[in-house]
Amino acid sequence: MSVGCVGLQSSACGRLQRRTDRRRFLPPGAVPGDLDSARAQVERAWLAAGLRKVPLRPPWAGYVHVHVKMDLVYGLVWLLTVLLEGISGQGVYAPPTVRIVHSGLACNIEEERYSERVYTIREGETLELTCLVTGHPRPQIRWTKTAGSASDRFQDSSVFNETLRITNIQRHQGGRYYCKAENGLGSPAIKSIRVDVYYLDDPVVTVHQSIGEAKEQFYYERTVFLRCVANSNPPVRYSWRRGQEVLLQGSDKGVEIYEPFFTQGETKILKLKNLRPQDYANYSCIASVRNVCNIPDKMVSFRLSNKTASPSIKLLVDDPIVVNPGEAITLVCVTTGGEPMPSLTWVRSFGTLPEKIVLNGGTLTIPAITSDDAGTYSCIANNNVGNPAKKSTNIIVRALKKGRFWITPDPYHKDDNIQIGREVKISCQVEAVPSEELTFSWFKNGRPLRSSERMVITQTDPDVSPGTTNLDIIDLKFTDFGTYTCVASLKGGGISDISIDVNISSSTVPPNLTVPQEKSPLVTREGDTIELQCQVTGKPKPIILWSRADKEVAMPDGTMQMESYDGTLRIVNVSREMSGMYRCQTSQYNGFNVKPREALVQLIVQYPPAVEPAFLEIRQGQDRSVSMSCRVLRAYPIRVLTYEWRLGNKLLRTGQFDSQEYTEYPVKSLSNENYGVYNCSIINEAGAGRCSFLVTGKAYAPEFYYDTYNPVWQNRHRVYSYSLQWTQMNPDAVDRIVAYRLGIRQAGQQRWWEQEIKINGNIQKGELITYNLTELIKPEAYEVRLTPLTKFGEGDSTIRVIKYTAPVNPHLREFHCGFEDGNICLFTQDDTDNFDWTKQSTATRNTKYTPNTGPNADRSGSKEGFYMYIETSRPRLEGEKARLLSPVFSIAPKNPYGPTNTAYCFSFFYHMYGQHIGVLNVYLRLKGQTTIENPLWSSSGNKGQRWNEAHVNIYPITSFQLIFEGIRGPGIEGDIAIDDVSIAEGECAKQDLTTKNSVDGAVGILVHLWLFPVIILISILSPRR
């Protein structure tokens, strides 16, 4: 079957390929032939398509070209392959796999000792971890972190990008980082890496002195201990100096250096025994982490003299300090001793210092002090000698608040009423600071009242009821009726007094609570505002407390009780969870101190039906049937429920629920008139719940395939091609997809260039479709938009960005380099050799090149393709070396319980033609504490005018590099070239190891195409995981 190009009739055609298994790859089509330049060719291609406007940098020139050539043998094998696959429907769908790579090399070269993956980084640098995933559809990625038993999810939110980037990393951000990838197939894939943050703080030297007692006048000792401490990771190493002299254990009998037995390298103590005159000197402590992560050593010095002493201070203020709000207060702290001069700092016992304070050395000033500024303030002096000195004072800010009262009837009678001839007690309470300054005054009808036999004024024990005064009226008389006033004040003044009035009369009666008849039960609708009411009578009227009576849950304001002064509880935006019984009860405050009165109010909240599904999208092709069902989850009232089905504004069906909990609506055969939004409304007194169904024939979005092996290729200098692959999500859900609309634009541009890709036949689930985008300009990136088309119309679109990227593979699984890039795949020249390797193509080589040596084309046969070679013309001499270094490849560490290291197949093509050919060597350089180079492969002498291929198994145990070493032979006809360097996980095939392939351009490709179906057949017949 062959279909010609649609639109462009030149070599700028693209190629469309469809596959049903991701292991069956067809090689990308050849890039169009040469024109004057890449830009000229692109412009001609666009003009040939009949497009009026040629973009400044046209992004592509690929139109559809379906071209399949299959001989009889290939066809039979392909058919057998499909039958053996069983048409399982999985295609290229695969569960996720994941691995973690980092942007740079670990700064600690000793990391290879660990059996787990550890990445070390210096504090303050940027951590960048990338989660490389495979799997189809594209897995979703989430980063999390654990540190010990606690989980740190990046400020309570996970990171969902492939790359985790932390700038200016801090020590607390070290720990184990997990990358989790999932796409709904199989189990999620999880990998982790431990990040160690290295740092070194400035060391601190503290000095302690001990003076022994004289014993029989024969022994007297004064010993000084210098303790050096520095926070670090990894553990720090300490060294001591006296002046310029390095102090070591045993170098001086009067000096002892040791670690306390209870520490683990955190400190190093220098002990000066029986202090001598020469011990008075400058001492330096050097803290070092051995230059790990380029962290320099840090040093601190201390001058020890016969005046060295611990600090002492005193406060020039009283303790405590009692002040009025709004006043300014100043605390003064001065040093009275200490050498060297101590530094002074102020701290607060609870919390931080107020922001408004003014500090000037040892003087602390608080302007306009408030109650929030009260507390204990401490002055601390420290000079690293002995223990810090500390002096404290307490600041008390005067305050009066929360004045309240209660009336207690005669406790010797069970009557709650006030009666003539009986006792009555009036209690008055306030909160006062300081409580010692609190005083009360009593007045009757505005006149001062003194304690007497019938009017007894007392103050309650502060431990029982602080800030409380009582007025006991013995043998109440008619003349005792009146208004009693309690006045609370502070002796220091500056604070307004609190006055509380209590009326005692014949109308003073205890409270009574009732609920108005029409106020319980209360019925309301969800979202409304409702007022619950308890009617309180009596004089005085007490505070009413509201709470839930049927369950222990919080009130609407979040507290367990709410206060009301008029007996009304107002609830805004009522929810269904607020249904239930509410209790209102009297408080003892501002009323009678008697048994609380209480009443109950029932609240009923009606709410519309809760239904499922709230929204459901149904995709179905024309002439097919569909059924929609709307289910009631809960509603109040539950009866009577009615329903109605609508398509847009058109009423389809109405009815009433009997015993069932759902209603259905079927469509036997879909047509254009049946597509749209179906709404099912289920209705009760409180409102309606709605199920919405979007019935559409739109095709699902395509799923771009991101695991294409080497999607980018090029044969010319300035343009590249890209193998775009995708599958179709649920292709059988709707009508057959007849075409795709492909849009492409250069990143940053506004205009999309579009065309249709015709599709013949049905697309299978998991079938991989390939379209080759050609004539893309290096190094531009492009946005690609793909939209499926059916007879219903356009489906959902999906967009991805394609980029031209250099083949960098810091954590190895696959690597291929054809030296087509400007950075030659991050290969570098060795600085220790005699001359360099040169990047060259046949089309760009010097016209004065040496004949009878070197290749006539790159490994693929292209004269525009690049390769690396050594030029052996003069002034090069025999035996001189040129060394080319590969990037450093990091590998997963070996499982300590595993039998062998991971195997990799290393292969490359080499060209050694000429009568003076020298030697080509390949070395494997292993990274570690010491760098080791192992000979891997070697060849010498003339191999003929052809490219030869070499395969070698390597088993690296740590990060590694490959080194190509070319040695010049005895003459100028000795050019050596290499091309297409590849590294793949797994051992090389045995036939590759036993034979040296001589591949010449198209012949090699033809051989591989013939072997292709056979390889597929063997892989399917072999046992599968």
Between 645 and 10, name the one with better pLDDT.
645
Q: What is the reported pLDDT for 507?
A: 86
Residue 225 lies in a domain: yes
We report the CATH number of the domain holding residue 537 as 2.60.40.10
Which stretch of 366-370, 735-739, 874-878 has the lowest confidence by average pLDDT?
A: 874-878
Q: Could you tell me the two tokens for 386?
A: 């002995």
pLDDT digits (tens, 9 = 90+) for 602-655: 999 999 999 999 999 999 999 999 999 999 999 998 878 999 999 999 999 999
Whether residues 123 and 38 share a domain: the answer is no
Mean pLDDT of 553-576: 92
Rounded to an integer, the average pLDDT of 904-910 is: 93
Is residue 110 a part of any domain in this protein? no
pLDDT of residue 606: 93
Q: What is the pLDDT of residue 900?
A: 54
- Region 894-899: mean pLDDT is 44
Confidence of residue 86 (pLDDT cuts 50, 70, 90): very low
- Residue 427's pLDDT band, with cuts at 50, 70 and 90, is very high
- Provide the residue range defining the domain that includes 772: 16-90+705-802
Long-range pairs of 1000-1003 with CB within 8 A, sequence gap ≥ 24: 1000/861, 1000/946, 1000/947, 1001/857, 1001/860, 1001/861, 1002/861
| Residue 861 sits in the same domain as residue 936 | yes
Element (H, E) at 73: helix 72-85
- The answer to whether residues 440 and 391 belong to one domain is no
Query: Measured between alpha carbons, how far is 479 from 410 in angstroms, rounded to an integer?
Result: 18
**CA 464 and chain centroid, separation:** 54
956 and 848 co-located in one domain: yes
Please report the pLDDT score of residue 709 as a whole number: 74
What's residue 472's pLDDT? Answer: 94
Q: Is residue 551 part of a domain?
A: yes
Pair 719, 865 in one domain? no
Average per-residue pLDDT for the chain? 82
Residue 798 has pLDDT above 70, yes or no: yes
9 compared with 381, residue with greater pLDDT? 381
Q: Residue 11: is its pLDDT beyond 50?
A: no
Q: What percent of the residues of the chain are helix, what percent strand, and what percent coil, each to the nearest 5?
A: 10, 45, 45
Segment 714-720 mean pLDDT: 72
- Distances in Å between the alpha carbon of 992 and those of 259, 905, 909, 995, 996? 61, 10, 13, 6, 7
pLDDT of the residue at 336: 95
Does pLDDT of 103 surpass 80?
no
- Report the share of the chain in percent with pLDDT over 90: 55
For residues 533 and 438, state if they share a domain. Answer: no
5 falls in which pLDDT band (50, 70, 90)? very low
Query: Do residues 723 and 708 make contact, with C-beta atoms less than 8 angstroms apart?
Result: yes
**Is 1020 among the domain residues?**
no
Which residue has 């810091």 as its token pair? 810
pLDDT level of residue 847 (50, 70, 90 thresholds): low
* Chain segment 284-303, per-residue pLDDT in tens: 999 999 888 889 999 999 99
Q: Give residue 69's pLDDT.
A: 35
- Are 469 and 432 a contacting pair, CB within 8 Å? no
Q: What is the pLDDT of residues 211-232, one digit of tens each?
A: 654 444 444 468 899 999 999 9
Q: Answer yes or no: is 761 within a domain.
A: yes
* Claim to verify: residue 134 and residue 184 sit in the same structural domain: yes
Are 838 and 960 part of one and the same domain?
yes
Q: What pLDDT sits at residue 1020?
A: 47
Domain boundary among 802, 837, 868: 802
Q: Is residue 547 part of a domain?
A: yes
pLDDT at position 582 is 96
For residue 838, tell me if it sits in a domain. yes
Q: What is the pLDDT of residues 517-552, one digit of tens each?
A: 888 899 999 999 999 999 988 888 888 999 999 999
| Domain match, 954 and 818 both | yes
Predicted confidence (pLDDT) at residue 503 exceeds the cutoff of 70: yes
CATH at residue 867: 2.60.120.200
Task: Point out the least confidently predicted range of 143-147, 163-167, 513-517, 908-912.
Answer: 143-147
Q: Over 90: is that where the pLDDT of 51 sits?
A: no
Bigger pLDDT: 4 or 801? 801
Q: E strands along 70-139, which residues?
A: 94-102, 118-122, 127-136
Tell me the mean pLDDT in the region 945-966.
91
Percent of the chain at pLDDT above 70?
81
Question: CA triplet 88, 24, 767: central angle to 5 degrees?
Answer: 45
**Together in a domain, 500 and 580:** no
At residue 78, the pLDDT reads 43
What is the Cα–Cα distance from 820 to 565, expressed in whole angstroms? 85
- pLDDT value for 986: 81
Q: Which among 281, 303, 325 is the end of a domain?
A: 303
pLDDT at 101: 83
Using the predicted structure, report yes or no on whether residue 969 has a pLDDT greater than 80. Answer: yes
pLDDT > 80? residue 16: no
Most confident of 411-420, 779-788, 978-987: 779-788
Q: What confidence tier does 56 reach under pLDDT thresholds 50, 70, 90?
A: very low
Residue 110 is predicted with a pLDDT of 45
Q: Please tell me the total count of domains within the chain.
A: 8
Beta strand ranges found along 248-328 (DSSP E)? 255-258, 267-272, 282-288, 298-303, 309-315, 321-323
Q: In the beta sheet, which residues pair with residue 953?
A: 905
Which one of 159, 179, 198 terminates a domain? 198
What's the average model confidence in pLDDT over 719-730? 92
Q: Which residue has the higher pLDDT, 891 or 986?
A: 986
3-state DSSP assignment of residue 28: coil
| 716 and 824 part of one domain | no
pLDDT tens column, 705-714: 998 877 887 6
Q: Where residue 24 falls among pLDDT bands split at 50, 70, 90? A: very low
In the predicted structure, residue 383 carries a pLDDT above the cut 70 = yes
- CA end-to-end span of the chain: 35
Tell me what pLDDT residue 115 has. 46
- Tell me, yes or no, whether 383 and 529 share the same domain: no
| pLDDT at 742 > cutoff 80 | yes
Distance CA 142, CA 332 (A): 55
Whether residue 1004 is contained in a domain is answered as no
